[in-house]
Amino acid sequence: MSRVATIQMVSTDNVDANLAQAAGLISDAVEQGAQFALLPEYFPIMSDDETAKIGIGETPGKGPIQDFLAGQARDNGLWLMAGTFSLQSDEAARVYNSCLLFNPDGHCTHRYDKIHLFDVQVDDEDAYNESDTIVPGNGTVVAETPLGNIGMTVCYDLRFPELYRELSGQQAEIMTVPSAFTYATGKRHWELFLRARAVENLCFVIASNQGGQNTETRRTWGHSMIIDPWGDVLCSLEEGPGVACADIDLARVRELRQSFPALEHRVIGNNGGQI
């Protein structure tokens, strides 16, 4: 049994204020007994200027944001998954949108670079083109930890079930989804997708979202939650900064995968029905 926390933020374009907000919420999670905490996507900065994330891009293994995260994990003695922030790439005009996992000693153990980029026209007013400023990742990551095997994903990845199937095939028992889901898409699809990914893969899902009016033009959905392998929501938030905790037992994953072996029953047809 492990106690885990999802942390919801309302990040702005003020990096120092965002880190202070994150530190307070991490402290709240620890006070509630959390051994693991998940920050949301873009936790250090949310800006109407999409190039702002490039300006705070860090070299892997070095920089004030990474120092902050290492210190938070070490000082609080917990596993800390750092939502996403910018790590430099070989391109001056684009960065990686990276999710790092720190152990209780403050060491970074795993890194996942967001694969699927949000290049979408949501409605007549809202358009997003992440690929203008972000280099896509090209590999899956399952982090083996004392808490369980964690499949690392980010936000828009949620719309691609084949990624989660691949992670479950690599023995992931927990899926993490740090996000900055838009208000418009979140109110329709956020919980639907999260619960589907949990049920499809018989795994726990820990989802941390941005949740409020981040900038003059950007509003995010919030409703961070933790879901069990049968699709039940164990805890959730609404809007605004906050922490939600739940106890997860991996025996539940293993029992369900044995008694309800849908993952083993999967069959892919080969042009059946053609004449």
Rounded Cα gap, residues 259 and 256, in angstroms: 5
Residue count of the chain, please give it: 275
CA dist list (Å): 109 to 72, 129, 215: 15, 30, 32
Q: Which of 58, 99, 114, 239 is catalytic?
A: 114
User: Cβ distance 253 to 173 under 8 Å?
Assistant: yes
Q: Which of 41, 130, 173, 239 is catalytic?
A: 41
Q: Which of 58, 130, 155, 239 is catalytic?
A: 155
Q: Are strands 134-135 and 95-102 parallel, antiparallel or unpaired?
A: parallel
Rounded Cα gap, residues 67 and 156, in angstroms: 27
In one-letter notation, the amino acid at residue 275 is I
Q: Where are the beta strands (DSSP E) in 119-265?
A: 119-121, 127-129, 134-135, 142-145, 148-152, 174-179, 204-209, 225-227, 233-236, 242-248
Structure tokens at 95: 């960065």
Rounded Cα gap, residues 77 and 64, in angstroms: 19
**Active-site residue 245, yes or no?**
no
User: Cβ distance 115 to 108 under 8 Å?
Assistant: no
> Is the torsion defined by CA of 224, 6, 72, 167 positive or negative?
negative
**Active-site residue 114, yes or no?**
yes
In one-letter notation, the amino acid at residue 37 is A
User: Cβ distance 247 to 5 under 8 Å?
Assistant: no
Q: Which residues are catalytic?
A: 41, 114, 155
